[in-house]
Amino acid sequence: MGEGDNLVHSRGHFVAPLTFFLVVLFRFLSMWLDQVKKKGSSTSNTREDELRSEIKMLLKEASSFSQPSTFAQAAKLRRLAAAKERELAKFQEQDKKEINQCYDLYGKVLLVSKVVIYISLGVWFWRTPIAIVSKQLVQPFGSFLSLGTGGHLNGHVMVGIAPWLILSTRVSKYVCRVVEF
């Protein structure tokens, strides 16, 4: 083997765990982003709570005016409470729209980052075996796993980057489902 071959093979030793780590990291970031999106922001929740308490207070005060002479005051308070309810609905709708836009942007950035990194790994390590596994261990899938690496070596299968990315993606789904934070 020449010096270039040693460099290629030494470069391939860290790729398998690094690739798996990156795939799992992207999966966790995606799950975290989905959870944060569902929860919403805490600042909007405080404003919603304020409006709800104001509405409750106005309705409670309006119900305390039960005499015919105070009917006008009660009606005025009920109209004010209805206006607050419309304001709350408008606020919730706008807040939801802003949250969706923000998290959709983050999701797109995450997706683009993932695609760029996967393509970079694929191009950089296309001809480099990133793992070597016994042929008996992967008997029916040996030729698929060696895609792009040149095949077999002394009863071992050289695993290429593309099959490793696919396998890592499938395993990361399982790991994230089990860990589920």
> What are the pLDDT digits (tens) for 65-106?
777 777 888 888 888 888 888 988 898 888 888 888 888 888
Predicted local confidence at residue 73, as pLDDT: 84
* H/E stretch holding 33: helix 15-39
Q: Cα separation of 145 and 129, whole Å?
A: 10
**pTM recorded for the entire structure:** 0.64
How many independent structural domains does the chain possess? 1
Q: Which domain holds residue 20?
A: 3-179
Q: Which residue has 């589920």 as its token pair?
A: 180
C-alpha closest to that of 169 among 127, 115, 104, 120: 115
Which residues, in sequence order, are bridge partners of residue 158?
132
Rg of the chain over CA atoms, in angstroms?
30
Mean pLDDT, the chain cut into blocks of 10 residues (181 residues total): 41 77 91 80 71 85 78 85 88 83 88 93 83 74 66 74 87 84 54
Predicted local confidence at residue 181, as pLDDT: 54
Predicted local confidence at residue 122, as pLDDT: 85
Q: Cα separation of 118 and 152, whole Å?
A: 24
Sheet of 156-159: strand order equals 131-134, 156-159, 152-153
The contacts of residue 169 (CB under 8 Å, 6+ apart) are: 23, 27
Q: Cα separation of 154 and 85, whole Å?
A: 75
- Hey, what are 19's tokens? 């690739």
**Cβ atoms of 155 and 12 closer than 8 Å:** no
Predicted local confidence at residue 110, as pLDDT: 92
Predicted local confidence at residue 160, as pLDDT: 81
Predicted local confidence at residue 8, as pLDDT: 41
Predicted local confidence at residue 33, as pLDDT: 87
Residue 41 phi, psi (nearest 5): -95, 150
In the chain the beta strands, taken as DSSP E runs, fall at 131-134, 152-153, 156-159
Predicted local confidence at residue 26, as pLDDT: 92
